[in-house]
Each structure stands twice: as structure tokens, then as C-alpha cells.
Amino acid sequence: MDILVKILYAIIAIMVATIWGLTLVAIVRKIYARVHGRFGPPLWQPFIDIIQTHARRAQVSHGLMFYLGPVFRLAGGLGTFLFIPIIYNSAVFGNFSMAGDVLLVMYFIFFGQLGMALGAGEGGHPYSPIGVARGLAQMATFELPFSLAVIAVAIQYHTLNITNVVAAQQGGILNWTLFTNPLAVIAAMLSLLGMNSHAPFSLVKAPQEIPIGPPIEMNGSFLGILQTNRGIFTAAKLVLFMNLFFGGAAHPNIFVALLIMMVKTFSIYMFSVFIGAAFPRFRPEQSFRFFLKWPTIIGVLSVIFIAYF
Amino acid sequence: MEKKYIDEIEKEMKLANEGLPEHERKFFSDARPSRIEPLNKHLENFVNWARSKSLWILAFGTGCGSTELRPLMTARFDISRYGISGRPTPRQASVFVIGGYASMKTIKRIVRSYEQMQGPKYVIALGSCTINGGMYYDSYNTINRIDYYIPVDIYIAGCMPRPEALIAGFEELKAKIRKGECDGMNKYADNFDWYKENQKKIIKDWNMPDYNW
Amino acid sequence: MIKNSESKYKDFVADRSKYPQEENGKPVIDLSSHKYTKIWQGPQHPGVTGNMSVELIVTGDEIVDAKTRVGYLHRGFEKLMERRRYIQCFPIVCRICVPEPDTNEYCVSAAMEDLAGIEIPEKAKWLRTLNLEMSRLANFLMWIGGQAGSLGMGAISQWTMAMRDYWLDLFEELTGGRVYHMYMIPGGVRKDLPDGFEEKARELIIRTRDLLYDIERVFFNNSIVKSRLIGLGIITPEMVAEYGIVGPNARACGVENDIRINNPYVKYAELNVKMITATEGDAYARAKVRYREMHQTLDLITEIFDKMPAGGEIQAKLPNVLHWKIPAGQTYVKAESTRGEHGFYMVSDGTKYPRRVFARGASYTHSISVLEKLAVNISISDLAALMVSVHSCPPEIER
Amino acid sequence: MENLIKKLEQMVDVKSFVKKREDLYFLTAREEQIIVLLAYLKEKEGFNHLAFLQAVDYIEDNKFMLTYMLYNLDKKMNLGINVFIDREKASMTSIHSLWHHAWQYQRELHELFGIDFPGSPRVKESFVLEGWDEMPPMRRDFDTLEYVERTFYPRPGRSTNDPKDYMKEKKYKNFVDSPKLRR
């Protein structure tokens, strides 16, 4: 009986996260539009897009992996999400948080991309392998500073459990990792730029070079699933960062806590949006070089700093 | 019915793909487009509303009419307010904007891109040149009527039509979609042989499959 | 494979140790060996300029061979003009180059006047100069938006396209047409300036300057833009004569080739047009040259408004244009478009119909020979930027 | 300019020499001497910019007139060189060795006029037409309107009429003299 309740709670959490993630995507589109000097699409546009993609009459598949690719992507997004507590100390939004879930989450972040790579490769369009190669290489590079930052956090709090990490940051803004371990936060935020793949790191979906890259053959429901996953995955990433570095969202009143979560994730997202609105795109090797240079050095420094001082 | 008749019927229902060399034919589909019936009434109305609210234009500037697509997309006449955005690949696009005249080299690509689009797909034809040839009515390289080669939903007259006219045309298209009148995909499937005959009449070197998904 | 620090770009060489193996100087490209992939960039591709395509052969991310395929916009203008009378030729020529139609109008009208020996009045010359400069500015705004967009910087292209649209509004007020303005008819121009045109234009010039300063701050001083454009597609002064390179592409490597100064047409002799050159010859230098050209165009428009006489005849006496016979002869009239030398070669044989009209577009060589040479050894990511940087305009290639 | 003409006349035989404008001259040369003439003009006289190479179809006297338009950046002067070649089995010596972009014009002429340039690279490639099986379209005896009516589907209701008669009957019925363009 207990597990059923937990599953029900998880479904509620997924709903909330999906809606919030898609709304966040729409808000970001509007902000870009304002930078461009126009109005931009309405806030409900992503939802209508998803309905429209699922309502296509004909859908072309290229084999089994082509089916499984978006499914893996969605599984990766859900897996990333399900092990992150959205709200600290909440029965509904606690999710399946357990010991060592940080490692699981980082594995799931990879998992979705790999599944997507398999599916896109089956599509057979020459641009999708190029996009997949770019995406995986870039991910391998930006995962390095991120893992270093997570290792630093784990050393700092002597735990691999996100809930404990959040618990350790409670009680005052100065307990956040942002202030207790700034180097790790800097490294992680730099890698967030690549994770969100906004400019200048929007290599994977560069329209002028490889028109939209891996999902170039995805159509109809495949694309719809990918877009749904975009909402979930965005929310999951941002909530993870919020939990690890910005003190999580904790409040006795659940709605206030949700509000805190929204405000924090939004401001974390803005960091990469502001940079993306003002910069052109890197060449792939430039992007890889960027991640392997300063963010990695900062991450190593943060680990050393935490371990020995 | 006996099985061999069924086989014969199936054989003549298959496409010949004569344009392709012998060893390549097995790589391509030889199925004809099939008519797809809409869903039941209320569901169809709902999805039609969703389709009309998010139109994805195929990013293929086939003629000089596509010059006016850039002001349409950008800050002056911001078409994304109406949920219309560009899509770089035909697999995901739902609206094909034929920008002005189509030369004989372009109509081949137009046919190919149109057949690769996943239905329901709508076509908007810009400019007088797509209606009756316009000022290129006697040019040996530009076709006169686009609707002999692909089904067209909305014509926008003018050389070239202004962005306001384009916005009005898109609104017309939305109204037609909500009424469920834009059925170009099934029209193409029904009159497939007629369209193919017209296309092969002008595309002299037909080196692609007869119907490419 | 590709060095990308700004200083190293000067001696830019790709590592050819693996692919393709060279035999007596020529790379051997064997598609059946699975080392190479053939990719068609275009015609249905967001990164190509207009409706053209480049047939690429890549190994990994590096282009080893490129062939430009054009002809998707061929309308046979020259054949059509042989079937039309002189005055009927005039309204179709502006379709030859879509973003900048006025150069075609000027060239064909000037060619007819040159053959028929008609001298157009002063005010008409001033108005033609004004119109040419305005269209040059509009096209440059579109170009710099495309250059920024090809690097994935959407904001700049949105701003410049909006600003270009205000200039198109001025065009509409002056000529009645938004994109295609059949304005410079043979023997003069169609309309005089409307009231209040000058004030609107001056006010718009100020706004355009503000936008240009913003663009310099956001685009030209951007480290990523520099690291991507500097050293991309270097045109050397030796190539200029060999490949027939004209216009900003030639000026960006130090060759002083500007028809407005070398062979002044309508009123450029009385305006102070400065020769704007750079020395590097790479994409960044070309962009800078065009950026300074835009500023100079704004200056020129202001100067034209200062020097233009108020009244005056704007239309010379023509014979009845419906049966207008032009004496036999041949002529070549050229003007400086945004892409360089844009010329019309017209041969008449004494009848009502021209015998032969040929439109020489600058990007005829820029985006075929030059692009095929420059595209080799660069990464596939840079191809869109390179195509915009040589300013290829497909409709004027194939007419 | 005149001494240049003298020099040229000593070297090759220049048939006619026309001064069109201050900065535009035309001269007519013989077919077999064109490569010598162009090489001399390019290397010695500084006419090193080939603006274009085009053909004019003189069907009545059964000739093609090729025009090489050169430009001299120092003298700021255009020089057009006309060469008359035979129309049947039209062939011309290729100049792709002089300019790297000359092969484009030769490919275009080969496709649109049917003039052959032996040895020119990629001259047989298709430039703008695809699967064209008629005669080269830019020749005078190719009737494009007839081809259009044969190939495409003109929309009914379109009428073309001679502007002179049309204007006469519509507008200037009671005009005696021909109308002047007025602003």
C-alpha cells in the first residue's frame, strides 16, 4: 500500500515538473524574443506543439532503435527526475530519494543522451551522426567539471544523498554551497551552460550548420516525446542544481516551497539564458577546449580546497 | 478471391521506380501514398484546433517570395505571435510556403520535400508566378501553375506579396484548417497518378523514387 | 585538425597527413573507400544563402572538396528580354537580384540611354544616386544580419531586418514599391521626392547609426566572433585578378577597386566617396569593410540631401516608348552594387527589341570559383559563415 | 589608348576599333589570335580583370559574336573584344588557363548557346538546366513561348496583346501624335 501512495506522489511530482519545465521553456523563448525586440510565442505554445506533433497522421520510422531512442531519452529524463527531491522534507515531492542517488542521477543524465544517440543514428540522415558526435563529445567535456564539483560537494558534506546535502544547507543563506564552497559552484555553473546547450554551446542543434542535428528525422510522436522530455529534463537539471548548490526548497507550507523552487530554478536558468542571448556559437573544438580548460581547473581546485583546507 | 489475383493486384499497386538503377530499387519504398481518414468528429476538431495553433513552416526559400519571409519572421512583423515558426527539416514541418516562381530544377526538390513532409501538410503559394506564371509566363524554365504538381491550399497574389498579405493568408489557412477543409494530403494520394504524370512531364531526368517518404 | 587561436590563423593550414592522400599535388578522393562522406548543403537548408546548394565531400568535420550547384532560380531573363520591347524589359530586370534591385534598374536604364544617346536631367541623376545608396544600405543591413545569423547570433539579424524594414517603408513612400521599386525608368526617374521625405530619412539615419554602434559593440568586439571569423576564407591580392574578385571582397585585401571612384557614374563624382580598404582579406576584414561602407552610405545620403537641388526636371524627353527603336550598337554599363561590379552588356540591332542583354553579377564568380576554393580545408561549421562572407546572391548568378 | 591600338595592330590584325565612351572601347579580333591577344593584354598591358565572356547570336549571317570584356584597374578603362565564330558546330579556344573563373562562362555558353570549348574544365557539366533535351535555349531560333505552351499548363484567361495597338484603342483613340511620358 505504501508503495502505491509513493507512486501516486511521484506521478503528481512528474506532472508538476513537466508543466513547470515547459512553462520555463516558453518563458525563456519570450525572453529571447524580447532581446530580439519582438513579442515571441505565447506561454502555452509548447503544450500546443506537443498536441500537434502527436496529432500527425503519418509517421515514418526507421527501425527498432528509432522507436527506442525517444523512449530512452524520456526514461533518462524521468530517471534523472525521480531520484531528486524537489522539495526538502515533503512527502509528495520527496521522490525516491535514497543513499547515493547523486551517482544514479549523473548516470541517468548520460543515459538519455546515449539512447538518443542510438535512435538518431538509426535515422540514417548524415547530419544526425554529426550532431550526435558533437553532442556526446561536448557532454563528455562538460561532465568533467560537473563531476568534480559533485565530488567536492560529497567530500564537503560526507554524503552522496541529495536529501542530506539539502539538509546540510538548511538554516540561513550562508550555509548554501554557494558560499561554503564557491569554487565548486563556479565549475558547476559553467558546466550548466553546456548542459542547457544554449549559445555559445548550442552545437547539437545548430540550425545553420547541421539543421537541428540528431532529431532531424524525428517526426510526429517521436518529436512529441522528445519535447515532453525537454520539459522534464530541464526541470530535473535545474532542481538538481538548486538542491546541490543553492540550498534546495524547504518550507513547511508546500505551496510556498513550490514557489521558492520556481524562483530558484528560474534564476539558475537565467544564468545561461543571459549568456546565450548575447553570444554567437562556438566551433565544436573551441567548445571542448573551453570546458577542458578553466572549468576543469576550477573543479580540481575546489576538490583540493575542500579536501585539504 | 484467389490468392494469385490478390498478388497481381498488389503488384500493379506497387510503384515501378523506373528512374532508379536496378540495384538501388530495393533500398527505396515502392508503396503508393494511401488515403488516411480523419478521426471522429470531436477529436478531429480538437486536433485541428491544435494544428492551426502551431504551424511549422519548412525553411525552404524556393523563390524571391521568400525574401519577404525574413521580415515576417523577424522583429517587425513577428509571426511567432501566432504560433508559426520555422522548421529546418521536412519531417517536422507542416506548412510549405512556395516562394514565388518554381524553376524546373526547383520543382523537383519541391516535390521531394513535399512528399517527405508528414501529413497533414498544407501548401501556401506566394505570388502571381505560382498562379499563372506572372511575368515569367513565357519563360522556358519556370512552371506556370503550381497546382498541377502539388495540391495548394492558399494562394497569395502579388509580386511580391507584402508581409501583411502573408499574415492574412496564414489567418485564412488557420480558418480553413479549423473547418477541416485542408485535405491536400488525401487529395494528393487520390490523384497520385495524375500528379506524377504532370511532374514527370517536366522533370526530364527522374532519378528518384516515384514516391519518397 | 584546425588551429583556432587568432594569431595562428595567418599561416592557416589543415593537417593533411591522413586524408586525402595527395598524388602529384592533387588530392585523391575515393568515395567507395569509406573515408569520405558526400553531403549536400542545400537547397533545403537553413544555412545557405537563398536557393543554392553546395555539394560537399567531408572527412570527419573537414571539407575536402566543394562544388557549387546553382540554377534553382534560373528564369532566363536574357531570353525574355529578347522577346520584349525596351520599355517592357525595364519592369522585369529588377527581379534579377532580389535584395538589391535598384542596381539592375539603373544599369538597364543607363544602357538604353547610352545606346540611344539620351542625356538625363540633373535632378534625375541625384534621385538615382539617392535610390542607389538607400538600396545599398538596405542590402548591407540584410547582409550583416545574415552574417551574425550564420554564427548563431539571432539578435543582430532581428535588429537589422527590422531596421531594413523602416528603410523599405521609405522606399515605398518614394517609389510605391516595397521590395521591387520600378523607379529609374529610361530617361530619368518616375517620381520626385514626396513632402517630408527628407526629414524622415534624416531621422532614420540617426536611428540606423545607433543600431550600427550597438552592432559594433555586440558583434565586432565579440571574442567568439573574432575567434571564428578572423582567418576564415582568406583572399589574397594575387587571387583578385585571377578570380575576377570585385567589390568589398577585393577591397578587404587591399585592392582599390570601387567603381564609384574609379569610373564615377551618376553623381558620385560630386560626392566625396572614400575608398574603404583593409589588408587582412579574411572574413572579419570583409565584415569590417562592409560595416564601414554602411557608415559611409549614411554619410552619402546626408550629403545627397544637402547637395540635391530642390526643383528641376526629372524626366528627359523620350520618343514614344511603345515603338522605341534604338540605333544599333553595343555597350557595357556597370555600377557598384553591395557585392561589387554589377554590369549590363546590351547589344541592339536597330529594332524595337534588344538583340542581347547580359547581366553580370558580382557573385557569379564569388560564390562559384572563389567559394569552391575557399571552402576546402575549413570545418563544416564555418561553411555558412563563409558563404555569407563572400556575399553570394543566387538569383544574380543564374538570372 | 591610341598607342596601345598601334601596338596591337603591329601584333595582331584588329579589324574595327570603336570608342564607345571615355572608359569603354570595343575592338574586333580574329578567332585564332584571341588567346595571344588576351595573354598580351593581361600580362603586359594590365587588362587583368575579365569582367565577362558572353556570346551574341547573329542568326541572319550565321555567326556567334563572342565578347571578352576586360578591365584595367590602373587606366580605369574597359576594353571589349569581339570575335566572330561560325554558328554551326560552334567551337572556340578555351581561355581557362588565363583566368581561373573563365571556365564558368565557358560552361554557361556551352549550355545556353551550344558553343564548345575543348579542354575547358567541367564544361560538360550542367549549369542551370537539368535534363534539358531541346536545343540550347539562348539561341535565337528557340521559341520559348511555343515551348511553354507545349510543356506547361498555362492558366486560361491570360491574353497578351501588342502594347501599341492596345494603348491606341484603349487610351489614345483621339490622340493624333504619340503620347509623351509625363511625370
The DSSP bridge partners found for residue B14 are none
Q: Is B81 on the interface with A (CB under 8 A)?
A: yes
Name which of C227, C229, C125, C211 is nearest C165 in CA terms: C211
| H, E, C per residue of chain D | CHHHHHHHHHHCCCCCEEEEECCEEEEEECHHHHHHHHHHHHHCCCCCEEEEEEEEEECCCCEEEEEEEEEECCCCEEEEEEEEEECCCCECCCCCCCCCCHHHHHHHHHHHCCCECCCCCCCCCCCCCCCCCCCCCCCCCCCHHHHHHHHCCCCCCCCCCCHHHHHHHHCCCCCCCCCCCCC
Count of other CB atoms within 10 angstroms of residue A263: 12
Cell of A152: 567536492
**Topology given in CATH for the domain delimited by C77-398:** Cytochrome-c3 Hydrogenase; chain B (1.10.645)
Q: Is B43 on the interface with A (CB under 8 A)?
A: no
Min Cα–Cα distance to chain A from B173, Å: 16
What was the pLDDT predicted at C8?
44
> Given pLDDT bands bounded at 50, 70 and 90, which one contains residue D163?
low
Q: Is C25 on the interface with A (CB under 8 A)?
A: no
> Given pLDDT bands bounded at 50, 70 and 90, which one contains residue D181?
very low
pLDDT, tens digit, 9 for 90 and up, residues A98-134: 777 888 888 888 887 888 888 887 877 888 888 888 8
CB contact under 8 A, C47 and A280: no
Q: When comparing pLDDT for A168 and C302, which is higher?
A: C302
> Looking at the 3D structure of chain D, how many domains does it have?
1
How many angstroms separate the CA atoms of B32 and B30, rounded? 7
What was the pLDDT predicted at C5?
42
R_g of chain D computed on alpha carbons: 22
CB contact under 8 A, B141 and C75: yes
Q: What is the CATH number of the domain that holds D145?
A: 3.30.460.80
What was the pLDDT predicted at D177?
52
CB contact under 8 A, B70 and C99: no
Min Cα–Cα distance to chain A from C343, Å: 32
**What is the distance of C-alpha C364 from the center of its chain?**
10
- Say if CB C251 and CB C276 are below 8 A apart: yes
pTM for this predicted structure: 0.88
- Can chain D be said to touch chain A, i.e. do they have 3 or more Cβ pairs within 8 angstroms? no
- Say if CB A197 and CB A273 are below 8 A apart: no
Q: Is D169 exposed, middle or buried (0-12, 13-18, 19+ CB in 10 A)?
A: exposed
Min Cα–Cα distance to chain B from C177, Å: 10
User: Which residue in C has a C-alpha nearest to residue D24's C-alpha?
Assistant: C332
Is the CA virtual torsion A250, A255, A260, A265 positive or negative?
Answer: positive
Q: Is C14 on the interface with A (CB under 8 A)?
A: no
User: Which residue in D has a C-alpha nearest to residue C245's C-alpha?
Assistant: D49
Quote the DSSP letter at residue B97.
Answer: E
Q: Measured between beta carbons, which residues in chain D are less than 8 angstroms from residue B128?
A: none
Neighbours of chain C (3+ CB pairs under 8 A): A, B, D
How many angstroms separate the CA atoms of A65 and A195, rounded? 24
What was the pLDDT predicted at D183?
40
What was the pLDDT predicted at C66?
87
Q: What is the pLDDT along chain C (399 residues), one digit of tens a residue?
A: 333 444 444 444 555 566 666 666 666 777 777 778 888 887 888 877 778 888 888 887 788 888 888 888 888 888 888 888 888 888 888 888 888 888 888 988 999 888 888 888 888 889 899 999 999 999 999 899 888 888 888 888 889 999 999 999 998 888 888 888 888 888 888 888 888 888 999 999 999 999 999 899 889 888 888 888 888 888 888 888 888 888 888 888 888 888 888 888 888 888 888 888 888 888 899 999 999 999 999 999 999 989 888 878 888 888 777 778 888 888 999 898 898 888 899 998 888 888 888 988 888 888 888 888 888 888 888 888 888 888 888 888 888
- Say if CB C268 and CB C106 are below 8 A apart: no
Q: Which of A87-91, C174-178, D116-120 has the lowest mean pLDDT?
A: A87-91
CB contact under 8 A, C72 and B103: yes
State the Cα angle at C79 between C345 and D169, rounded to 5°. Answer: 105
Domain boundaries, chain C: 6-69, 77-398
Count of other CB atoms within 10 angstroms of residue D102: 24
Whether B99 shows a pLDDT value over 80: the answer reads: yes
Name which of B144, D107, B202 is nearest C398 in CA terms: D107
Q: Is B135 on the interface with D (CB under 8 A)?
A: no
pLDDT, tens digit, 9 for 90 and up, residues B174-184: 999 888 888 88
> Given pLDDT bands bounded at 50, 70 and 90, which one contains residue B1?
low
Task: Characterize the bridge pairing of strands D24-29 and D77-86.
Answer: parallel
Neighbours of chain D (3+ CB pairs under 8 A): B, C
Min Cα–Cα distance to chain A from C396, Å: 23
pLDDT, tens digit, 9 for 90 and up, residues D1-36: 777 777 777 777 777 778 888 888 888 888 888 888
- Flag whether D181 is in a domain: no
Buried b (16+ CB within 10 A) or exposed e, C29-38: beeeeeebee
How many angstroms separate the CA atoms of A252 and C242, rounded? 77
Name which of B202, D127, B47 is nearest C71 in CA terms: D127
Nearest to D127 among C71, C257, C330 (CB): C71
How many angstroms separate the CA atoms of A148 and A189, rounded? 12
Q: Measured between beta carbons, which residues in chain C are less than 8 angstroms from residue B64?
A: 73, 95, 98, 395
CB contact under 8 A, C159 and A207: no
Q: What integer best gives the mean pLDDT of chain A?
A: 85
The three-state secondary structure class of C168 is: helix
Cell of C126: 541625384
Task: Give the rounded percent of residues in chain A with a pLDDT score beyond 90.
Answer: 5
CB contact under 8 A, A45 and B119: no
**What is the distance of C-alpha C172 from the center of its chain?**
21
Interface list for B 150-189 with A (CB within 8 A): 185
Architecture per CATH, domain B55-202, reads as: 3-Layer(aba) Sandwich (3.40)
The three-state secondary structure class of C357 is: strand
Neighbours of chain A (3+ CB pairs under 8 A): B, C
Half-sphere exposure of C102 toward its Cβ, with a 13 Å CA cutoff? 27
- Flag whether D25 is in a domain: yes
- Flag whether D182 is in a domain: no
Report how far apart the first and last C-alpha atoms of chain B are (Å, whole number). Answer: 31
Phi, psi dihedral angles at C55 (to 5 degrees): -90, 110
pLDDT, tens digit, 9 for 90 and up, residues A27-44: 998 999 988 888 889 999
Q: Is D40 exposed, middle or buried (0-12, 13-18, 19+ CB in 10 A)?
A: middle
Structural domain span for residue D141: 2-170
CB contact under 8 A, B204 and D130: yes
Interface list for B 91-150 with A (CB within 8 A): 91-92, 94, 118-120
pLDDT, tens digit, 9 for 90 and up, residues D40-70: 888 888 888 888 888 898 888 888 888 998 8
Nearest to A280 among C37, C47, C228 (CB): C228
Interface list for C 147-176 with D (CB within 8 A): none
What was the pLDDT predicted at A251?
81
Q: Measured between beta carbons, which residues in chain D are less than 8 angstroms from residue B204?
A: 130-133
State the Cα angle at C168 between C162 and C171, rounded to 5°. Answer: 160
Whether B28 shows a pLDDT value over 60: the answer reads: yes
Q: Count contacts between A and B (CB, < 8 Å).
A: 77
Domain boundaries, chain B: 55-202
Find where cell 549550355 sits. Answer: D111
Q: Is C225 on the interface with A (CB under 8 A)?
A: yes
Half-sphere exposure of D101 toward its Cβ, with a 13 Å CA cutoff? 27
Phi, psi dihedral angles at C189 (to 5 degrees): -125, 170
Phi, psi dihedral angles at B74 (to 5 degrees): -100, -165
How many angstroms separate the CA atoms of A128 and A247, rounded? 39
Q: Is B146 on the interface with D (CB under 8 A)?
A: no
**What is the distance of C-alpha D104 from the center of its chain?**
14
Q: Measured between beta carbons, which residues in chain C are less than 8 angstroms from residue B70?
A: 142, 161
Phi, psi dihedral angles at A270 (to 5 degrees): -55, -30
Phi, psi dihedral angles at D26 (to 5 degrees): -125, 140
The three-state secondary structure class of A120 is: helix
Neighbours of chain B (3+ CB pairs under 8 A): A, C, D
Whether B26 shows a pLDDT value over 80: the answer reads: no
- Say if CB A268 and CB A246 are below 8 A apart: yes
State the Cα angle at C131 between C127 and C136, rounded to 5°. Answer: 150
Q: Measured between beta carbons, which residues in chain C are less than 8 angstroms from residue B105?
A: 71-72, 74
Name which of C345, C351, C352 is nearest C330 in CA terms: C345
Find where cell 562538460 sits. Answer: A142
The three-state secondary structure class of C330 is: strand
CB contact under 8 A, C224 and A200: yes
Count of other CB atoms within 10 angstroms of residue B181: 11
Whether B12 shows a pLDDT value over 70: the answer reads: no
State the Cα angle at C348 between C346 and C351, rounded to 5°. Answer: 145
User: Which residue in B has a C-alpha nearest to residue A62's C-alpha?
Assistant: B213
Q: Find the mean pLDDT for residues B127-142.
A: 84
CB contact under 8 A, A206 and C381: yes
Residue C321, C-beta contacts closer than 8 angstroms, at least 6 positions apart: C85, C86, C87, C186, D181
Nearest to B144 among D130, D137, D155 (CB): D155
CB contact under 8 A, B203 and D131: yes
Count of other CB atoms within 10 angstroms of residue B105: 23
